[in-house]
């Protein structure tokens, strides 16, 4: 069964080993709301599981109404287990995990400042050195495609090459992390950076860092936040 055509499976095997992950995912969903990354039923989050599976938030339910058992296990072939259907963006999450083996969690949000920039279809240039936190000298905006489609998945994977975050044109943001805690922290940091860029644009054209200045920052970020050897 291909991505984009999920089917329900009723056996309990899909849930084995996922209990702790379900609680962590629900906690993350609610934390996204508390951080104003999402409102209502917008956005979604997932965590990679063993065997090519993932755990993802359900379709069309606000985080505050979700229960742990509403989190949905999606198999590598697109079948799913549980009482709820997976988020309509599950193919995007599936394709991101396939393309980026180091990603342990994926967050998609309609955060206000990220979405404002995405609706202008703007890449974020090196106006601040913390752009390097997300893998390069810019954060890209993926080309527009309808939500839940293979075209959106393809555009997202392309925009995330050598990056851990991107904007989705006229839509929102996607952020990758080692795990849910890391992905949430990165999403909050990314939204803060989007706000800073949005505010900078109100003052005029920003002064950008040069390629040489960003190259030095990127080199320093190779050991940023890592323990001493």
Torsion-angle region of residue 51: left (phi > 0), alpha (psi -120 to 50) or beta?
left
DSSP codes of every residue in 8-42 = EE--GGGGTT-HHHHHHHHHHHHHHHHTTS--TT-
Can you give the pLDDT at residue 13?
Answer: 38
Q: Report pLDDT digits (tens) over 148-181.
A: 999 999 999 999 999 999 999 999 999 999 999 9
Q: What mean pLDDT is predicted for residues 144-150?
A: 96
3-state helix, strand, coil in the chain (%, to 5): 40, 15, 40
Given this model, what pLDDT does residue 228 score? Answer: 59
Percent of the chain at pLDDT above 70? 90
For 60-83, write each residue's pLDDT tens digit: 999 999 999 999 999 999 999 778
pTM, two decimal places: 0.89
Exposure class string for 125-156: b at 16+ Cβ within 10 A, else e: ebbbeebbbbbbbbbbbbeebeebeeebbbbb
Q: Residue 48 — φ and ψ, nearest 5°?
A: -70, 135
Catalytic residue among 64, 69, 89, 162: 89
Are 219 and 212 within 8 A, CB to CB?
A: no
CATH 3.40.225.10 fits 7-220, yes or no: yes
Nearest alpha-carbon partner for 126 in 219, 224, 207: 207
212 given a catalytic annotation = no
Mean pLDDT of the chain: 90
- Tens digits of per-residue pLDDT, 9-47? 333 334 445 678 999 999 999 999 999 999 988 999 999
């Amino acid at each position: 069964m291909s991505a984009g055509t999920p089917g329900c499976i009723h056996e309990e095997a899909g849930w084995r080993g996922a209990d702790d992950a379900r609680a962590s995912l629900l906690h993350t969903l609610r934390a996204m709301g508390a951080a104003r990354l999402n409102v209502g039923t917008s956005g979604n989050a997932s965590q990679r599981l063993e065997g090519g599976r993932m755990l993802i938030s359900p379709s069309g339910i606000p985080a505050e109404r979700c229960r742990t058992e509403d989190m949905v296990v999606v198999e590598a072939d697109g079948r799913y287990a549980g009482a709820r259907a997976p988020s309509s963006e599950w193919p995007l999450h599936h394709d991101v995990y396939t393309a980026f083996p180091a990603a342990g969690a994926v967050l998609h949000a309609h955060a206000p400042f990220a979405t404002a920039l995405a609706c202008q279809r703007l890449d974020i240039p090196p106006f601040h050195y913390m752009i390097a936190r997300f893998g390069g000298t810019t954060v890209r905006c993926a080309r527009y495609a309808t939500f839940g489609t293979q075209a959106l998945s393809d555009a997202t994977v392309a925009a995330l090459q050598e990056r851990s975050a991107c904007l989705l044109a006229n839509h929102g943001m996607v952020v990758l992390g080692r795990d849910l805690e890391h992905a949430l922290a990165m999403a909050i940091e990314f939204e803060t950076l989007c706000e800073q860029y949005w505010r900078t644009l109100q003052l005029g054209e920003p002064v950008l860092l040069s390629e040489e200045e960003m190259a030095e920052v990127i080199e320093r970020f190779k050991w940023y936040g890592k323990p001493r050897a």
